[in-house]
Amino acid sequence: PALPALLWLALAPLPGAPGPAVRAELRVRVRLPGGQVTEESLQADSRSDCISLELRTADGALVTLTADFKQEVKIFRALILGELERGQSQFQALCFVTRLHRNEIIPSESMAKLRQKNPRTVRQAEEMRGLEHLSMDVAVNFSKGAQLSSHIHNVCAEAKEAIYTREEDVKFWLEKGVDGSMFEVLPQTSDLPGLQRCRLCADLWKPCICSYSLSIEWYPCMLKYCKSRDAGGKVSSYKCGIRSCQKGYTFDYYVPQKQLCLWDEET
């Protein structure tokens, strides 16, 4: 049988090492949908209980996913290359913040113990988890965002005016005691009857509903367990690798002018 793409590191500390690793970084070569190969960076910090993953997409955008297990928060950041000839800046930054559910991705402690075998191999996800369509109807105040997750301050620094979440996730966080003053409900179609999707809007300066899609092409989503039998015949299971997944996301959100959403045009 084929070896798993990433192998589990022995739990016993290395000779002379102070103890199990709490921080780790991996670089994995992955294939994008069009056949292009890119390098993905994965970082784990079991002390702060978070994982981050970064890759450059086929259109040049830099996509980062940060999973904050402690606060049950996922942060997607996209740095999108601007269209200078159409009056945009060099790049545009977006942050989408959603609830992190258990078992979406392997724990940070597990990720920190992974080591790669065959680093030149181009990886493809074993499981395709489909497309999730999210309506991001609430804005997050950057200066107060650290109360939701301390990682927002660093990850979303370039996207201070473009941090979005969902009302249903806000309700979950409010029940956990998060300060509601950091959230502001965005205008919806029911509030502005003439509000269109940006791809249908001809006026660059009119507000509209923008849509942005991204895909995490490869990430460790589940642990694999193997069985062993001791001398007495007793069977036990142990962690022996990971299962990899791919998942796509489409985010819909309000923008005050179509100029902030030039990629979302009818073709």
The helix/strand/coil state of 47 is: coil
Classify residue 90 as exposed, middle or buried by CB count within 10 Å of its CB (0-12, 13-18, 19+): exposed
CA distance 77 to 67: 12
CA distance 95 to 145: 12
In the chain, % of residues over pLDDT 70: 89
Residue-wise pLDDT for 103-160, tens only, equals 899 999 888 888 777 778 898 899 999 899 999 999 999 999 999 999 999 999 999 9
Residue-wise pLDDT for 10-30, tens only, equals 332 333 334 455 788 889 999
Q: Which helix (H) or strand (E) holds 170?
A: helix 167-175
Segment 59-71 shows an average pLDDT of 94
Contacts of 244 (CB under 8 A, 6+ apart): 5, 123, 125, 126, 127, 218, 219, 220, 221
How high is the pLDDT of residue 266?
52
| Whether pLDDT at 218 is above 50 | yes
Local confidence band at 191 (pLDDT 50, 70, 90 cut-offs):
confident
Segment 33-57 shows an average pLDDT of 91
How high is the pLDDT of residue 2?
37
| 107-to-221, 228, 243 alpha-carbon distances in Å | 9, 23, 13
Place of tokens 């960076």: 41
pTM as predicted: 0.86
Largest CA distance in the chain: 76
